[in-house]
Structure 1
């Protein structure tokens, strides 16, 4: 039996399409992918959305689980928030693999008191 040429074997393979973060619109590297429960898992949520790790951390820095459950349970709702819009405008200019530590927002600190 004749051997197939290496080129013929490899030609069928197609690299998977990169995941795109629905918040910032950048491609998500495998090592920076986080699954975000649109409604927090602790509140019965099951549906998840792949996001950049930095975008995911920012969501949880800005919003409590109650806010996520009642108001910000869609990507569109998250993008409608002013502080999230500022974050997305900033991070969308960064390379896909960019990560920086996330600090809890002052708005969230005030609400926790």
Structure 2
């Protein structure tokens, strides 16, 4: 039996479109990538600065402590793998 690959951030099975997220941003020396849904990827970058992403590193549980991201993860948990919706922009 083949195990489905899951999104690094939300843990749901991946759909047709998969993006690669650098847990430590490339601009901060990151080389490793993790598979994520496009909506999860956009939400990460709309919620956190590169400095904040670098600090959390390869630890999605640390990012999930953020109330805004925790709310997103609860909302997206039961959506289909190919679900898409507009992503809110980062607050200035």
CA distance in structure 2 between the aligned counterparts of 1:79 and 1:22, rounded to whole angstroms = 12
Determine helix, strand or coil for the equivalent of 2:8: coil
Greater gyration radius: 1
Structure 1: gaps (5+ residues): 1-13
CA distance in structure 1 between the aligned counterparts of 2:61 and 2:73, rounded to whole angstroms = 13
- Name the structure where strand makes up a greater proportion of residues: 1
Structure 2: gaps (5+ residues): none
> How much does 1:54 deviate?
0.5
Runs of 4+ in 1 over 6 A off after TM superposition: none
Q: How many corresponding residue pairs?
A: 91
CA distance in structure 2 between the aligned counterparts of 1:44 and 1:100, rounded to whole angstroms = 30
- Name the structure where helix makes up a greater proportion of residues: 1
Instruction: Give runs of aligned pairs for residues 47-62 of structure 1, distance below 5 A.
Output: 47-62=32-47
TM-score for both structures, normalised by structure 1: 0.73
> How much does 1:30 deviate?
2.9
Q: Is the 8 A contact 2:12 2:77 kept in 1?
A: yes
Partner of 1:93: 78
Q: Please, which of 57, 63, 66 is the counterpart of residue 81 of structure 1?
A: 66
Aligned pair 1:21/2:21, yes or no?
no
Q: CA RMSD in A?
A: 1.5
> How much does 1:87 deviate?
0.2
Give CA-to-partner distance per residue, 1:23-80, whole Å, 9 cap, x none: 222111132x11110100011001111111101110000111111112x222121112
